[in-house]
């Protein structure tokens, strides 16, 4: 039997989150300061060829799913060509994409033709134009809402990612859920995290999993759905609604026992956990001439050190508390 990526807790790694760029066309307050971040020099970004090799070797070790993130993946030139390239990997079952939706409307027909591109996660934190601008510091709500409608009507599976931000959009939780009545969309509420280029935001109210669920239950009777073992969200159905609702306890980290994912940042840093500060630079390893066999051995040994959970990962950080922008990690 071919080798598999299994960590010291018996969790098998089947999913890689690959950030194709740290560039983004938005400036979401929970991800980076209004003036942006210091982006990596272009030469420091992984090339598409390097990304293809990394994913290929991981799929030879049992990874079947890749999620492409950023920054904003569609900001990277020739991203569609990279999707076509990845689609040739016969061991890869699913290519998922997380996007802010401001630039993808014109690409939807091409994405629908790509068999392996199945799930699109659209990040949208407000249904109000002014509030959207306040959160993202960019006036592109109409484009993003149009993308939402086009994706909902497309053959692609659509999930909405809504970061619940105290003092910004907690009053819209019920509005987002109302969308699921007539639309077959999964709305997922994500706990805000300090990956914002500054560190923990001074928030009065902690909108964690429990508080978000309580808010939902003030208006809706929800029934817990059976989710995939390694699902990041706890999902609920509502009687008479086409779509579903989920909550991702990303900061309270109650999902770590079944974690099946690793991450690769835009500059090729390998992460065993979102909360670690990177364990190895794959880019330099590749550029130093490493073979695919050497890469395979490397992955097998790195995964052995995957921490039990995000709290252990955070405690073991060498570069201080979490504050780096999510745009440099890929979420
Ligand atoms: S916090 Fe780390 S271990 Fe927990 S689910 Fe996220 S990536 Fe996995």
Asked if 67 and 18 count as a contact pair (C-beta separation under 8 A), the reply is: yes
Q: Does any ligand 1 atom lie closer than 6 A to the CB of residue 256?
A: yes
- Helix H, strand E, coil C: the string for 36-71 is CCCCCCHHHCCCHHHHHHHHHHHHCCCCCEEEEECC
172-177: long-range contacts at Cβ-Cβ below 8 A with a sequence spacing of 24 or more? 172/126, 172/127, 172/128, 172/131, 173/212, 173/215, 173/216, 174/215, 174/216, 174/218, 174/219, 174/220, 175/127, 176/127, 177/216, 177/219, 177/220, 177/238, 177/241, 177/245
Q: What is the pLDDT of residue 320?
A: 82
Asked if 216 and 175 count as a contact pair (C-beta separation under 8 A), the reply is: no
pTM over 0.75: yes
315: Cβ contacts below 8 Å, ≥ 6 apart = none
Residue 227 CA to ligand 1 centre (angstroms): 17
Q: Does any ligand 1 atom lie closer than 6 A to the CB of residue 16?
A: no
pLDDT surpassing 90 at residue 44: yes
Residue 128 CA to ligand 1 centre (angstroms): 32
Residue 40 CA to ligand 1 centre (angstroms): 25
Tell me the C-alpha distance between 272 and 265, whole Å: 11
Q: What is the pLDDT of residue 328?
A: 95
Q: What is the pLDDT of residue 65?
A: 98
Q: How confident is the prediction for the chain on average, in pLDDT?
A: 95
CA angle 55, 61, 66 (to 5 degrees): 35
Tell me: the pLDDT tens digits for 133-167?
999 999 999 999 999 999 999 999 999 999 999 99
Predicted confidence band at 200 (pLDDT cuts at 50, 70, 90)?
low
pLDDT surpassing 80 at residue 262: yes
Q: What is the pLDDT of residue 24?
A: 97
**How confident is the model over 165-193, as a mean pLDDT?**
96
Q: What is the pLDDT of residue 1?
A: 56
Output the residue whose Cα is nearest ligand 1's atom 1: 310
Q: What is the pLDDT of residue 93?
A: 97
Output the residue whose Cα is nearest ligand 1's atom 4: 256
Residue 260 CA to ligand 1 centre (angstroms): 9
Q: What is the pLDDT of residue 45?
A: 98
**How confident is the model over 224-228, as a mean pLDDT?**
92
Q: Does any ligand 1 atom lie closer than 6 A to the CB of residue 273?
A: yes
Percent of the chain topping pLDDT 90 = 93
Nearest CA to 295 among 306, 304, 282, 284? Answer: 282
How many CA atoms lie less than 13 Å away from 105 in the CB half-sphere?
12
pLDDT surpassing 90 at residue 117: yes
Tell me the C-alpha distance between 180 and 245, whole Å: 8
Q: Does any ligand 1 atom lie closer than 6 A to the CB of residue 322?
A: no
pLDDT surpassing 80 at residue 2: no
Nearest CA to 108 among 127, 80, 142? Answer: 80
Please give the number of the atom of ligand 1 that sits closest to the Cα of 263: 7
Tell me the C-alpha distance between 86 and 114, whole Å: 10
Asked if 173 and 165 count as a contact pair (C-beta separation under 8 A), the reply is: no
pLDDT surpassing 70 at residue 213: yes
Residue with structure tokens 């629908």?
112
**How confident is the model over 250-271, as a mean pLDDT?**
97
Predicted confidence band at 187 (pLDDT cuts at 50, 70, 90)?
very high
Tell me the C-alpha distance between 145 and 57, whole Å: 37
| End-to-end alpha carbon distance in the chain | 32
Sheet of strand 280-281: strand arrangement: 222-224, 234-238, 244-248, 186-191, 157-164, 117-123, 94-99, 65-69, 15-19, 261-264, 269-271, 280-281
Q: What is the pLDDT of residue 319?
A: 85
How many CA atoms lie less than 13 Å away from 245 in the CB half-sphere?
27
Q: Does any ligand 1 atom lie closer than 6 A to the CB of residue 253?
A: yes
Asked if 293 and 56 count as a contact pair (C-beta separation under 8 A), the reply is: no
Tell me: the pLDDT tens digits for 65-108?
999 999 999 999 999 999 999 999 999 999 999 999 999 999 99
pLDDT surpassing 70 at residue 49: yes
80: Cβ contacts below 8 Å, ≥ 6 apart = 107, 110
């Amino acid at each position: 039997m071919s080798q598999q990526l299994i960590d010291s807790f018996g969790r098998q790694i089947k999913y890689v989150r690959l950030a194709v760029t740290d560039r983004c066309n938005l400036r979401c307050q929970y991800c980076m300061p209004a003036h942006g971040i210091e982006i990596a020099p272009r030469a420091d970004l992984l090339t598409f060829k390097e990304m293809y090799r990394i994913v290929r070797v991981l799929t030879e070790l049992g990874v079947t799913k890749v999620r492409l993130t950023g920054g904003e993946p569609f900001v990277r030139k020739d991203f569609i060509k990279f999707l076509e390239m990845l689609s040739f990997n016969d061991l890869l079952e699913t290519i998922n994409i997380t996007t802010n939706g401001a630039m993808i409307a014109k690409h939807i027909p091409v994405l629908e033709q790509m068999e392996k591109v199945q799930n699109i996660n659209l990040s949208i934190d407000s249904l109000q134009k002014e509030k959207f601008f306040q959160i993202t510091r960019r006036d592109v709500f109409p484009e993003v809402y149009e993308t939402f409608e086009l994706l909902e009507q497309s053959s692609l599976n659509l999930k909405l990612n809504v970061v619940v931000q105290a003092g910004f959009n907690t009053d819209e939780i019920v509005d987002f859920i109302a969308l699921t009545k007539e639309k077959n969309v999964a709305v997922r509420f994500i706990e805000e995290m300090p990956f914002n280029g500054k560190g923990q935001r001074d928030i009065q109210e902690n909108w964690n999993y429990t508080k978000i669920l309580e808010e939902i239950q003030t208006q809706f009777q929800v029934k817990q759905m059976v989710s995939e073992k390694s699902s990041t969200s706890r999902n609920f159905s509502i009687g008479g609604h086409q779509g579903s609702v989920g909550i991702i306890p990303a900061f309270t980290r109650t999902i770590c026992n079944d974690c099946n994912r690793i991450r690769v940042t835009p500059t090729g840093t390998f992460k065993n956990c979102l909360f670690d500060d990177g364990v190895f630079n794959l880019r330099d390893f590749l550029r130093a001439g490493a073979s695919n066999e050497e890469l395979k051995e490397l992955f097998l040994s790195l995964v052995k050190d995957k921490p039990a959970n995000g709290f252990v990962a955070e405690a073991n950080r060498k570069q201080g508390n979490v504050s780096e922008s999510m745009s440099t990690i890929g979420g």
